[in-house]
Chains A and B, each alone.
Chain A
Amino acid sequence: MAKKILELNDLKREFRMGSEVVRALKGVSFDVFAGEFVTIMGSSGSGKTTLLNILGCLDKPTSGSYHIDGVNISGLSRNELASLRNQKIGFVFQAYNLLARTSARENVELPLLYNSSVSNKERRDRAVKALESVKLGERLDHLPNQLSGGQQQRVAIARALVNEPVMILADEATGNLDSRTSYEIMSLMQELNREQGKTIVFVTHEPDIAAFSSRTITLKDGKVVKDTQNENIKSAKEMLAALPVAEDY
């Protein structure tokens, strides 16, 4: 039995909008084990984003419990949550969120700058290693505006990997990319999941992206409506190979 990385138990989140109470999550329970590749699906308004914020330790549930790597986040302060994010979670955003005019290597180093136990040399070495693992070892000193969208997202993935988190949390990570580049990113994700055993939680609304994951959780109106193991996992690499070769202009 693999290690339990995430444990959600009757998670509720309510927002107070003036006099009205909006219940975004109405009792969500599921566990994620090490080595899983989970996609969380749902249309807008399903509570997907609220769940993502809680999974990412950016927000705390109103009631219910959420354990990440054995730590219950309910009693933690703002600063403790920040440390937890730094050490246990690697974020990948839809809009990449790279620092402009900052080289790929420095962008990847960023999480380690907030971790005082990492020395200067180790920080540099780990950043280079992370960039090599996303096949950008040749572009260490390129600035974000000298990289394509797919390459920028790979820098962001390297940034998520560099702190050796227990989970990579991707938020519509392919939303800004064309299908070819999306497949490239998904192929990289699958590789990280299979070959390096990374646990990945991928929030998306695109069903064809979910097909690359090992498990799909579907949210609707703040509740889990479907939680299925994916028997027929598609290989993003093969999909990529099957795409018609782009014409050279």
Chain B
Amino acid sequence: MNIPNLIRIAIRALQRNKLRAFLTMLGIIIGVAAVIAMVAIGQGSKKSIQDQLSSMGSNMITIRANSNSTVGGGARLESAALQTLTLDDIKAIEKQATYINAISPAVQSRGQVINGALNWPTSMQGVAPDYLDIRDWKVKEGISFSEEDVTGAAKVCVVGQTIVDNLFTPGDDPIGKIIRFNKIPIKIIGVLAEKGENAFGSDQDDVILAPYTTVQKRIMAITYIQNIYASAINESSTNAATEEITEILRSSHKLSADAEDDFSVRTQAELINTFSSTSELLTVLLTAIAGISLVIGGIGIMNIMYVSVTERTKEIGLRMSIGAKGGDILMQFLIEAILISITGGVIGVLLGVGATQVITKLLSWPTLVSESSILLSFAVCAITGVFFGYYPAQKASRLDPIEALRYE
């Protein structure tokens, strides 16, 4: 068997019927293009949801003090008034936890902030420098405070855009200015990038961030902390991190096995699960639809190949009479089917990627063309060609040359 010659024969046979070859290909082209585009849309929306969630700090874990009913037995207090979370808890978590990559204490004080003649009621968050990483928050102008500022309880702060808008006239540079929070002077060293409203409608930019030591000592005169923020190393490990933190805090708070937690650990996992399972389902559905169209394309190939074998019976008889073996005929038809499906696959990939670009441009839907979907649909094409081309090709190869020659 001479494969290069058989490929040549198959190409010539396809060239003799260009329109039919193209129409057969069309099924595969549409199938592959649909797979590529659908998967791209599914993956794109999944990624954009994930990005949005990450920008909200999707792997953020919040730890609050909680009054458990066994303490005191009287009225249960609101969490901010409890003094059970301490810096020792943070040290314990930092030391023992393996699923946490950043942690920050938080204390919060409400008050009036004044700059010259302008004033604004807001809250001041005392946090560690890691807090910005946990919230995935950037400083757009100036710098953030450092560990040294925390150690020295420096009177520096980073302010949100809402503070800048309310305390400064437009064009006034807030960096380096000293403002007063509850009469305590504090220097602005940075402005936070805008974050807008959160999911519940409160303005996330209406905040002043300062070292937690500064807020503890100079503003609130307390030693405990109110909240702990931490971030898990990735979204999928938030549950493991939650369990780990619970263990650590229970042992550092010396709670007996039957005692309730005197703190609560919360994550955004449910939110994430809902969103990602929705987009996961979307991807599966779109892929299934696209996959079905690919199978239909394959059946189209089989159909045409069968018709083609019948129609070309005389040609097959002639080829056999001048020396083509059964294997040669089998390979010729198989190569024709594979050429149709592979060529269709290439055109389909190009069309799919093109359609994806158009969708992104015109509808501004997020899309993500993954290499795996290209490789997969290409592999499926080749397999489709072999699978759906084999039976017609076998039928052709088993024809009796005498009968095939006399076929009308």
Q: What are 7 of the A-B contact pairs (CB < 8 Å)?
A: A83-B325, A85-B323, A87-B323, A99-B16, A106-B12, A113-B5, A115-B323
B402 near A79: Cβ-Cβ < 8 Å: no
Chain A contacts of B327 at CB under 8 A?
A: 79
A114 near B314: Cβ-Cβ < 8 Å: no
A58 near B321: Cβ-Cβ < 8 Å: yes
Q: Is A179 an interface residue (CB 8 A)?
A: no
Q: Which residues of A approach B to under 8 Å, CB–CB?
A: 53, 56, 58-59, 78-79, 82-83, 85-87, 91, 93, 97, 99-102, 106, 110-111, 113-116, 159, 163
Tell me, in angstroms, the Cα distance from A18 to B350 when the chains sit together.
57
Q: Which 4 pairs, one residue from A and one from B, show the smallest C-beta to C-beta distance?
A: A86-B323, A116-B2, A82-B325, A111-B322
In the complex, which residue of chain B has the Cβ closest to the Cβ of A162? Answer: B322
Q: Is B175 an interface residue (CB 8 A)?
A: no
Q: Is B326 an interface residue (CB 8 A)?
A: yes
State which size class the interface on B falls in: 20 to 34
B322 near A53: Cβ-Cβ < 8 Å: no
Chain A contacts of B8 at CB under 8 A?
A: 113
- Evaluate whether A97 and B405 lie within 8 angstroms (CB atoms) in the complex, with A83-B325, A114-B2 already known: yes
Chain B contacts of A102 at CB under 8 A?
A: 12, 16
Tell me, in angstroms, the Cα distance from A116 to B323 when the chains sit together.
11
Q: Which residue in A56, A79, A106, A159 is a CB contact (below 8 Å) of B325? A: A79
Chain A contacts of B195 at CB under 8 A?
A: none
Q: Is B344 an interface residue (CB 8 A)?
A: no
Q: Is B324 an interface residue (CB 8 A)?
A: yes
Q: Is B319 an interface residue (CB 8 A)?
A: yes
A86 near B322: Cβ-Cβ < 8 Å: yes
Known: A110-B319, A116-B2. 5 other contacts (CB 8 A): A58-B402, A58-B405, A82-B328, A111-B323, A115-B323
A82 near B323: Cβ-Cβ < 8 Å: yes
A100 near B16: Cβ-Cβ < 8 Å: yes
Tell me, in angstroms, the Cα distance from A87 to B291 when the chains sit together.
48
In the complex, which residue of chain A has the Cβ closest to the Cβ of B2? Answer: A116
Chain A contacts of B324 at CB under 8 A?
A: 82, 86, 114
Interface residues of B in 278-332 (CB under 8 A from A): 314-315, 317-328
Chain B contacts of A159 at CB under 8 A?
A: 322
Tell me, in angstroms, the Cα distance from A9 to B8 when the chains sit together.
41
Chain B contacts of A114 at CB under 8 A?
A: 2, 5, 319, 322-325, 328
Tell me, in angstroms, the Cα distance from A114 to B315 when the chains sit together.
14
Q: Is B80 an interface residue (CB 8 A)?
A: no
In the complex, which residue of chain A has the Cβ closest to the Cβ of B3? Answer: A116
Chain A contacts of B9 at CB under 8 A?
A: 113
Q: Is B31 an interface residue (CB 8 A)?
A: no
A58 near B323: Cβ-Cβ < 8 Å: no
Tell me, in angstroms, the Cα distance from A219 to B323 when the chains sit together.
28
Chain B contacts of A82 at CB under 8 A?
A: 320, 323-326, 328
Tell me, in angstroms, the Cα distance from A114 to B12 when the chains sit together.
14
Q: Which residue in B12, B321, B326 is a CB contact (below 8 Å) of A78? A: B326
Q: Is B352 an interface residue (CB 8 A)?
A: no
Q: Is B401 an interface residue (CB 8 A)?
A: yes
In the complex, which residue of chain B has the Cβ closest to the Cβ of A79? Answer: B325
Chain A contacts of B12 at CB under 8 A?
A: 102, 106
Tell me, in angstroms, the Cα distance from A67 to B377 when the chains sit together.
54
Tell me, in angstroms, the Cα distance from A2 to B371 when the chains sit together.
70
In the complex, which residue of chain A has the Cβ closest to the Cβ of B17? Answer: A101
